[in-house]
Amino acid sequence: MTQPVFTATALTKTYVTGEVEVHALNNVDLEIAEREVVVLLGPSGSGKTTLLNIMGGLDHPTSGRLFFRDLELTRLNDRDLTNYRRRNIGFVFQFYNLVPSLTAYENVALVTEISDRPMRPDEALSLVGLEARMHNFPAQLSGGEQQRVAIARAIAKRPAVLLCDEPTGALDSKTGIRVIEALLGINRQLGTTTVIITHNASIQEVADRVLFFADGRISRIQANETRREAATLSW
């Protein structure tokens, strides 16, 4: 078996506010394989975003260990964690955070200008099916198209991992499905390991594995024998 992309052991994050302790993550053990598509499902407050943020180097756990390949993230200082994140991680959030005064092409170019071996902005936009719209401004694009620009921006630096927090949360079913199709297409073509947080249980069928969260723990892991094509989903 190849080395996992992420290996977490007893990963714990505790928030203390006054006298109240919240165990956002409680002793989580987990491996995520190269090229895997993993969906995180679970009620609000169950720890999904906390795990995603720690994997993305945006936050530190309280205890436990986390490796990215053979790099131990839990030993890195903030500067090294920032370098790790810049080099290896693409983020997609619910809200697209595009710069309104820049075209789709220019929004993606912002990232490619500061990366080591980026793809061209038009290449990244064609991977999400938006080559014909690259000179449009965000306001001229639908919500789903704006999210696909955000995905193109996230993958243009060829990250090993794409971390997506509610990427379809603001979208209707049809445009949400196009966004999931774009994520799966990138996983197929570039081999990008992809982690998707969602509240939408229909999306679990496109994953290799589904991690169910409850109270800061992974309560169940479901391995899907086959990944369903995004185009056949509906919700």
Assess 202 for contact with ligand ATP (CB under 6 A). no
Assess 17 for contact with ligand ATP (CB under 6 A). yes
Assess 47 for contact with ligand ATP (CB under 6 A). yes
Helix ranges (H only) for the chain are: 48-55, 78-88, 104-112, 121-127, 143-155, 173-190
Angle between helices 173-190 and 143-155 (to 10 degrees): 20
Kindly report the backbone phi and psi dihedral angles of residue 28, in degrees, each rounded to the nearest multiple of 5, phi listed first. Answer: -85, 125
Of residues 1, 2, 18, 44, which one binds ligand ATP by CB under 6 A? 44
If the CB atoms of residues 47 and 121 are measured against ligand ATP, the closer one turns out to be: 47
If the CB atoms of residues 46 and 107 are measured against ligand ATP, the closer one turns out to be: 46
Q: Of 31-39, 45-53, 75-83, 109-117, which part binds ligand ATP (CB under 6 A)?
A: 45-53
If the CB atoms of residues 22 and 99 are measured against ligand ATP, the closer one turns out to be: 22
If the CB atoms of residues 44 and 234 are measured against ligand ATP, the closer one turns out to be: 44
Assess 214 for contact with ligand ATP (CB under 6 A). no
Query: How far apart are the C-alpha atoms of 114 and 103, rounded to whole Å?
Result: 18
Residue 208's contacts (CB-CB under 8 Å, 6 or more residues apart) are 33, 36, 37, 38, 223, 224, 227
Residue 17's contacts (CB-CB under 8 Å, 6 or more residues apart) are none
Assess 95 for contact with ligand ATP (CB under 6 A). no
Of residues 9, 14, 49, 115, which one binds ligand ATP by CB under 6 A? 49
If the CB atoms of residues 25 and 206 are measured against ligand ATP, the closer one turns out to be: 25
If the CB atoms of residues 42 and 57 are measured against ligand ATP, the closer one turns out to be: 42
# of chain residues touching ligand ATP (CB under 6 A): 13
Query: How far apart are the C-alpha atoms of 84 and 113, rounded to whole Å?
Result: 18
Helix (H), strand (E) counts: the chain: 6, 10
Q: CA–CA distance from 210 to each of 141, 201, 202 (Å)?
A: 31, 10, 11
Residue numbers of the site for ligand ATP (CB under 6 A)?
A: 15, 17, 22, 24, 42, 44-50, 213
